[in-house]
Amino acid sequence: MTSPRPIYLDYSATTPVDPRVAEKMIPYLTNAFGNPASRSHAFGWEAEAAVEAARAEVAALVGADAKEIIWTSGATESDNLAIKGAAHFYGQEKGRHLITVKTEHKAVLDVMREMERQGFSVTYLDVRENGLMDLEAFAAALRPDTSLVSVMLVNNEIGVIQPIEAIGALCREKGVLFHVDAAQATGKIAIDLSALPVDLMSFSAHKTYGPKGIGALYVRRRPRVRLEAQMHGGGHERGFRSGTLATHQIVGMGEAFRLAREEMAAETARVRKLRDRLLAGISGMEAVYVNGDMEARIAHNLNVSFAYVEGESLMMALKELAVSSGSACTSASLEPSYVLRALGREDELAHSSIRFTLGRFTTEAEIDTAAALLRRHVGRLREMSPLWEMAKAGIDLKAVQWSAR
């Protein structure tokens, strides 16, 4: 028996390629296959024109100049190029101190660890209970030898929007470079780099209905930001990133970002209604907590903790839903989500969190099914939970001496 595919509510993990995007990509695999770097014939010119048109579309979505967009393989590579490239270039002259936040994506945190290994010192800032940065703590962390700050625009787990305008303003004041990972933001909130005090910004195509394997890095030209290349070769992308350009992927990213620009307003309004419907559908339940600020948050994300229920068993119950759990119990480490821990969530709440991320193809019927499944299975698992039984009996779980192994 083949069971029907689950309802997809994991758009922050990845999105399907929009059929309109796929259609635009295909000719560049077969017919218009030229190397954009081939200057001597029409095949190359045709591919180059497509690449530049796509570059203009990516730039247009974020209020940048096309010359400020560098193609990469994705946001992880963009983060690596931005942080390593800037730290290596400016580290000697400005200083070897970097600042980031504990709730960043691993693509930033692990790069920071590598910079520490290379002799840089890194400050990992805490966030407030709502997941947002504390600007005073940030201002206090800036040092004369700080050369780069990296903060994500939208958090991948809890969807909160960091105050990058204020952070960037502080960076400008101190002459510190500012990198922003915007992988989860494009097509969800407006970004205007012509006004934002941001020097470097990472983008991904596959979070915004484009193909996997392609991304971009915005590198500001005024004032000019310099980077030390991390990938050497033919000197593509003005030497910032060598390697033959993947024309079809680039065309896909361009079309995906063009659609995002045109449809963002209507889509966000529709998704917000669905997200709020999901929240309303489960809000009658006891001991349900939303993780992360509800105001400074994208419309597409709902991260909820169901107290006294363990996340992995809830995921198992919700097999008709493709969602992601804050709990990393499938690894041997049994560690709850580091993002939720940074919010100061108690362990049993961090263990039971589910991330729902909605998107372009989510329907009202899917949301209603999801809410009904949650009500049913959370109830069932609580009937099975000794913690629920104790909480109902008025026992303070924090006062219990647990026999931790």
Partner 1 sequence: MTYSARVIDHYENPRNVGSFAQDEDGVGTGMVGAPACGDVMKLQIKVGQDGVIEDARFKTYGCGSAIASSSLVTEWVKGKTVGEALEIKNSQIAEELALPPVKIHCSVLAEDAIRAAVADYRKKHPNR
| Binding residues vs partner 1 (CB under 8 A) | 308-313, 316, 327, 329-332, 334, 336, 346-348, 351, 383-389, 397, 402-405
For residue 329, indicate whether it is catalytic: yes
Secondary structure class of 281 (helix, strand, coil): helix
* Residue 2 DSSP one-character state: P
User: What's the maximum distance between 2 C-alpha atoms anywhere in the chain?
Assistant: 80
- Give the phi and the psi of residue 401 in degrees, each rounded to 5: -85, 105
Beta carbons of 160 and 130 less than 8 angstroms apart: yes
Q: Extract the tokens encoding 239.
A: 């030497």
- Residue 8: its H or E element: strand 7-8
Q: Extract the tokens encoding 130.
A: 């709502």
Pairing of strands 200-204, 177-181: parallel
Beta carbons of 187 and 215 less than 8 angstroms apart: no
| Cβ count near 190 (within 10 Å) | 12
Between CA 79 and CA 203 the distance in angstroms is 9
Q: What is the 3-state secondary structure (H, E, C) of 327-343?
A: CCCCCCCCCCCHHHHHC
Q: Which is nearer to partner 1, 181 or 348 (CB)?
A: 348
- Residue 352 Cβ, how far from partner 1 at the closest point, in Å? 9
Helix axes 247-282, 42-62, angle to 10 degrees: 30
Q: Which is nearer to partner 1, 148 or 307 (CB)?
A: 307
Between CA 247 and CA 253 the distance in angstroms is 10
Q: Which is nearer to partner 1, 77 or 348 (CB)?
A: 348
Give the active site residue among 37, 142, 329, 387. Answer: 329
- Residue 340 Cβ, how far from partner 1 at the closest point, in Å? 13
Using CA of residue 75, residue 80, residue 86, residue 87, what is the dihedral sign? positive
Pairing of strands 215-219, 69-72: antiparallel
* Residue 227 CB partners (closer than 8 Å, separation 6+): 81, 82, 85, 86, 89, 200, 219, 240
Q: Which is nearer to partner 1, 238 or 319 (CB)?
A: 319
- Residue 10 Cβ, how far from partner 1 at the closest point, in Å? 16
Q: Which is nearer to partner 1, 238 or 392 (CB)?
A: 392
Q: Which is nearer to partner 1, 37 or 390 (CB)?
A: 390
Q: Which is nearer to partner 1, 347 or 364 (CB)?
A: 347
Beta carbons of 157 and 184 less than 8 angstroms apart: no
- Residue 395 Cβ, how far from partner 1 at the closest point, in Å? 11
Q: Extract the tokens encoding 117.
A: 């290994």
Q: List the catalytic residues.
A: 329
